[in-house]
Structure 1
Amino acid sequence: MTNYLFPLLTTVARYAKARFVQKTYHTEAAQEHFLLKLLQNHQDTELGRLYGLRDIKTINQFCDRVPILPYSSYEPYTNRIFQGEPNILTPDPVVYINLTSGSTGAKKLIPVTKRFQNSLKQANLASMGFLADALSNKKRKFGKLLLTNSVELLGRTPGGIEYGAASVGVLRMGKFLYEQIFTNPFETLLPNDSLVRHYICLLFALCNRNLRGVIANFPMLVLRICDYLERYGEELIIDLEKGTIANWLDLEPELISRLQSKLIANPLRAKELRHILNSEGRLTPKFIWPNLSFVATARGGTSDFYFERFPSYFGDTPVFGAVYSSAEATFSIYPDLDADGSILAIESGFFEFIPEDQWEAENPQTLLPTEVKVGEYYRLLVTNYSGFYRYDIGDVVEVVGFYNTAPLIVFRYRRGGILSATTEKTTEYHVTQVMEDLQKEFGVFLEDFCITLSENIVEPYYLVNIELRPGEKIDNPQSFIASFEVKLKEANMSYSVKRPNNFISPPRLRILAAGSFAIVRQRQLAKGVPDSQLKFPHISGDREFLAGLVVEREVMLPGDLN
Structure 2
Amino acid sequence: MIGESIKKYLAIIWAKNQVKKSQDFKLNAVENQEKLLLNLIKTAEKTLFGREHQFENIKNIQDFQNQVPIADYEDLKPYIERIKKGQANILWTGNPEYFAKTSGTTSGSKYIPISKEGMPYQTGAAKSMLFHYIAQKNNADFVNGKMIFLQGSPKLEEKFGIKTGRLSGIVAHHIPNYLQKNRLPTFKTNEIEDWETKVDEIVKETEKENMTLISGIPPWLIMYFEKLIERNGKKITQLFPNLQLIITGGVNYEPYREKMENLLGGKVDILQTFPASEGFFAFQDDFKKDGLLLQTNHGIFYEFIPLEFYGKKDAPRLTLKDIELNKDYALILSTNSGLWAYSIGDVVRFISKNPYRILVSGRTKHYTSAFGEHVIAFEVEEAMKATVEKHSAQITEFHLAPQVTPKNGELPFHEWFVEFEKEPENPELFKKTLDEEMRKRNSYYDDLISGNILQPLKIIKLNKNAFQDYAKSEGKLGGQNKIPRLANDRKIADFLEKLKAKN
- Tell me whether the two structures share a fold, i.e. TM-score over 0.5: yes
Give the structure 1 partner of residue 260 of structure 2: 310
**In 1, distance between residues paired with 2:448 and 2:155?**
48
Q: Residues 396-420 of structure 1: CA distance to partner in whole angstroms, max 9, x if unpaired?
A: 11111133xx411111111211112
The structure that has the greater radius of gyration is 1
**In 2, distance between residues paired with 1:309 and 1:486?**
23
From 361, 365, 376, the equivalent of 1:427 is 376
Give, in angstroms, the shift of residue 340 of structure 1. Answer: 2.5
Give the structure 2 partner of residue 464 of structure 1: 416
Residue 285 in structure 1 maps to residue 236 in structure 2: yes
Residue 52 in structure 1 maps to residue 54 in structure 2: yes
Contact 2:121 2:280 in 1 (8 A): no
Give, in angstroms, the shift of residue 446 of structure 1. Answer: 1.9
Give the structure 2 partner of residue 87 of structure 1: 89
Q: After TM superposition, list the pairs within 5 Å mapping 1:255-404 onto structure 2.
A: 282-298=233-249, 302-314=252-264, 315-321=266-272, 323-348=273-298, 349-356=300-307, 358-359=309-310, 361-403=312-354
Q: After TM superposition, list the pairs within 5 Å mapping 1:12-411 onto structure 2.
A: 14-102=16-104, 107-136=109-138, 141-143=142-144, 144-153=146-155, 155-157=157-159, 159-174=160-175, 176=177, 179-209=180-210, 211-216=211-216, 218-233=217-232, 282-298=233-249, 302-314=252-264, 315-321=266-272, 323-348=273-298, 349-356=300-307, 358-359=309-310, 361-403=312-354, 406-411=355-360
Query: For this pair of structures, how many residues does the alignment match?
Result: 492
What amino acid is aligned across from residue 479 of structure 2 in structure 1? S
What amino acid is aligned across from residue 45 of structure 2 in structure 1? Q
Give, in angstroms, the shift of residue 330 of structure 1. Answer: 1.9
Q: Residues 464-504 of structure 1: CA distance to partner in whole angstroms, max 9, x if unpaired?
A: 211222xx444432223222222211121111111232322
Contact 2:348 2:358 in 1 (8 A): yes
What amino acid is aligned across from residue 188 of structure 1 in structure 2? T
Give, in angstroms, the shift of residue 5 of structure 1. Answer: 7.3
Give the structure 1 partner of residue 457 of structure 2: 507
Contact 2:370 2:402 in 1 (8 A): yes
Contact 1:175 1:186 in 2 (8 A): no
What amino acid is aligned across from residue 550 of structure 1 in structure 2? L
**In 2, distance between residues paired with 1:333 and 1:30?**
19
CA gap of 1:499–1:414, structure 2 versus 1, over 3 A, is same
What amino acid is aligned across from residue 484 of structure 1 in structure 2? L
User: Matched residue of 2:316: which SS?
Assistant: coil
Residue 547 in structure 1 maps to residue 494 in structure 2: yes
User: Matched residue of 2:491: which SS?
Assistant: coil
Unpaired stretches in structure 2, ≥5 consecutive residues = none
**In 2, distance between residues paired with 1:105 and 1:290?**
45
Residue 519 in structure 1 maps to residue 469 in structure 2: yes
**In 1, distance between residues paired with 2:100 and 2:488?**
27
**In 1, distance between residues paired with 2:19 and 2:104?**
33
Give, in angstroms, the shift of residue 74 of structure 1. Answer: 0.8
Q: Which moved more, 1:90-99 or 1:506-515?
A: 506-515
What amino acid is aligned across from residue 353 of structure 2 in structure 1? F
**In 2, distance between residues paired with 1:287 and 1:53?**
58
Contact 1:45 1:91 in 2 (8 A): yes
Q: Identical aligned pairs, as a percentage?
A: 21
Give the structure 2 partner of residue 538 of structure 1: 485
Give the structure 2 partner of residue 237 of structure 1: none
Q: Which moved more, 1:406-415 or 1:334-343?
A: 334-343
**In 2, distance between residues paired with 1:298 and 1:449?**
18
CA gap of 1:313–1:387, structure 2 versus 1, over 3 A, is same
CA RMSD of aligned residues (A): 2.7
**In 2, distance between residues paired with 1:170 and 1:352?**
26
What amino acid is aligned across from residue 33 of structure 1 in structure 2? K
**In 1, distance between residues paired with 2:324 and 2:424?**
41
**In 2, distance between residues paired with 1:106 and 1:6?**
46
Give, in angstroms, the shift of residue 332 of structure 1. Answer: 1.8
Q: Residues 136-161 of structure 1: CA distance to partner in whole angstroms, max 9, x if unpaired?
A: 16x8544431223232547432x232
CA gap of 1:141–1:474, structure 2 versus 1, over 3 A, is closer
Residue 444 in structure 1 maps to residue 393 in structure 2: yes
Give, in angstroms, the shift of residue 537 of structure 1. Answer: 1.4
Unpaired stretches in structure 1, ≥5 consecutive residues = 234-281, 555-562
**In 1, distance between residues paired with 2:181 and 2:37?**
35
TM-score (norm. length: structure 1): 0.80
TM-score (norm. length: structure 2): 0.89
Give, in angstroms, the shift of residue 96 of structure 1. Answer: 1.4
**In 2, distance between residues paired with 1:181 and 1:7?**
18
What amino acid is aligned across from residue 131 of structure 2 in structure 1? G
Give the structure 1 partner of residue 447 of structure 2: 497
CA gap of 1:151–1:553, structure 2 versus 1, over 3 A, is closer
What amino acid is aligned across from residue 50 of structure 2 in structure 1? G
